[in-house]
């Protein structure tokens, strides 16, 4: 059985995982709650967004813990710039001793939108053409293609510097008067960084910058600094409640 291990805050990676599952018999696991090492699978497919030209916290951390014998393929998705994240990921897996066979990249809608609104026509065109791009990668995976990234240029320094500052994003979040104290942000945070204090939502100092709370709050009550942006993104092809589930 193939194991698909995914991380996703706004559903793009979950959607890609489901497209793979339609073609390849597999079970999908959410990385932050997955406790295994992948040795129960005969093949591991990791599906992850690109963060700061590298990987989200949970994906970066799980790679060295995975079985060294099981073949691994990684499907990255991104909003605008890969800048060597595919080679960075390949090297991270290889240096961790994994049997890494392929890294793919797929363009999807951008979700790092704290200071930016994705124009509607652009968002729609990316969404409309996404299934075709995903299908191409799924076919490569189905054919067991070996795919090693060609360009060796990475932005490791930028990645590690940005990563060390991600915790500040949580500290720059606050909730406005639209907050109904539903606690959704608390339950979806992958690092348990959000809690109630005196009946008010507060953010701790462990934020991993996934922006799940910001994007998925129905009231748009979570605000970043004084930006007052109304644009929020969730992949429309999936059921939002499935983000974070094993399927």
Sites of contact with ligand FMN (CB under 6 A): 8-13, 49-53, 77-81, 108-112, 209-211, 235
Minimum distance from residue 8 beta carbon to ligand FMN (Å): 3
Task: Determine whether 186 is exposed, middle or buried from the number of CB atoms within 10 Å of its CB (0-12, 13-18, 19+).
Answer: middle
Nearer to ligand FMN, 7 or 41 (CB): 7
Minimum distance from residue 41 beta carbon to ligand FMN (Å): 21
Minimum distance from residue 12 beta carbon to ligand FMN (Å): 3
Contact call for residues 76 and 46 (beta carbons, < 8 A): no
Minimum distance from residue 129 beta carbon to ligand FMN (Å): 14
Backbone angles phi, psi at 134, to 5 degrees: -65, -40
Nearer to ligand FMN, 109 or 170 (CB): 109
Nearer to ligand FMN, 30 or 71 (CB): 30
Nearer to ligand FMN, 64 or 236 (CB): 236
């Amino acid at each position: 059985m193939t194991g698909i291990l995914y991380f996703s805050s706004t559903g793009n990676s979950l959607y890609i995982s489901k497209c793979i599952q339609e073609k390849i018999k597999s079970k999908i696991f959410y990385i932050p709650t997955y406790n295994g090492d992948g040795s129960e699978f005969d093949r591991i497919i990791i599906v992850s967004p690109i963060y700061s030209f590298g990987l989200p916290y949970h994906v970066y951390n799980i790679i060295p813990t995975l079985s060294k014998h099981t073949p691994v393929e990684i499907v990255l998705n991104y909003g605008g710039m890969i800048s060597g994240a595919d080679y960075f990921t390949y090297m991270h897996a290889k240096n961790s001793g994994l049997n890494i066979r392929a890294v793919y990249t797929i363009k999807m809608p951008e979700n790092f939108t704290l200071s930016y609104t994705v124009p509607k026509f652009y968002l729609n065109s990316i969404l409309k053409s996404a299934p075709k791009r995903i299908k191409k990668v799924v076919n490569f995976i189905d054919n067991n293609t070996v795919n090693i990234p060609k360009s060796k240029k990475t932005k490791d320094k930028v990645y590690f510097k940005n990563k060390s500052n991600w915790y500040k994003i949580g500290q720059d979040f606050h909730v406005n008067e639209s907050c109904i104290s539903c606690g959704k942000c608390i339950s979806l945070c992958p690092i348990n960084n959000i809690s109630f204090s005196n009946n008010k939502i507060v953010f701790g100092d462990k934020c991993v910058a996934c922006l799940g709370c910001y994007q998925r709050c129905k009231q748009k009550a979570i605000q970043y600094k004084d930006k007052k942006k109304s644009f929020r993104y969730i992949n429309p092809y999936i059921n939002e409640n499935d983000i974070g589930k094993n399927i």
